Amino acid sequence: MDDGILLIDKPSDMTSFGVVARIRRVLTQRANKKVKVGHTGTLDPFATGLMILVIGKECKNAGHYTKLDKVYEATFRLGQMSTTGDPEGEVTDISDKQPSLEEVKRTLVQFTGEISQRPPIFSAIKINGQRAYKLARNGEEVEIPLRIVTVYSLELIDYTYPNLTVRAHVSSGTYIRSLAVDIGSTLETGAYCTSLRRVSISEWNVSDAKHLSDFGITS
C-alpha cells in the first residue's frame, strides 16, 4: 500500500515500536523502496488490540488519530499491586478484603466522567525530553503531573473476586493501568491491570484489523 492507514491487531509481548518496525520492513520489501510507517499511540507490551498505523504521506496526520477516543476491555486483579501497574512489574500482596458487588459498582460510577489521574511512571510520556519508563528503569525519581481525562463509560463485564473485568470508553491520554490503581485504592484492596485489549479507536474496530501473520510476520 502507498499512503493511508493500516489497522493492526497487536499481539501481546511485543512493543508498539516493534510492530511498526516489522510492518515497515515488510512494506519496504514489497514496494522495493523505503516506506514511511508511524503509529498513532502506543499500547503497553503486555496489551493487545487495535493500533492505527499511518503509511507514507498520511504520517503527517498521525496527531489526528492520536487524539481520538478509545475503548478498552481490561481485567484488574484486586488485593495486589504491581510496581508498573501491570503483570511486568513486581507484585505485592496488599489486602484480602473482598468488596461486595455493590461496592464495586459504586466505585466504577465514581470513575465515570471527568477525572484526575496520574499516568504511570513506567509509560512513554516524555519528561524533559526523556521517556518516563527509561528514567524509572535507571532508578531516577520520576514525577508525572496529574491530568484531567474523561471516562465516557465504565461498564462492569464481570466481577469474580479477585478479578474485575470492565469495558472502558475513554478520552485520549487516559491510562487504564492508572485507572486500575485508583479503583484499587478506592476499594482499599490495591489493584493492578492483568490484561488489556484496545477494541476500538473512534469508528475503527479491532475486528477489522489485520494480524502480523497476514504479513508473514511470526515474531
Please check whether residue 150 is in contact with residue 114, taking contact to mean a CB–CB distance below 8 angstroms: yes
Same domain, 80 and 55: no
pLDDT digits 0-9 by tens, 27-54:
999 999 999 999 998 899 999 999 999 9
Same domain, 93 and 167: yes
Same domain, 180 and 138: yes
Q: By residue range, what is the domain housing residue 57?
A: 4-66+203-215
pLDDT digits 0-9 by tens, 150-187:
999 999 999 999 999 999 999 999 999 999 999 999 99
The residue to which cell 523502496 is assigned: 33
CB atoms within 10 A of CB 44: 26
Look up 9 and say whether it is catalytic: no
Same domain, 125 and 141: yes
Give the three-state DSSP class for 4: strand
pTM beyond 0.85, yes or no: yes
CATH (domain of 49): 3.30.2350.10
Number of domains in the chain: 2
Same domain, 171 and 91: yes
Per annotation, catalytic residue among 2, 13, 44, 96: 44
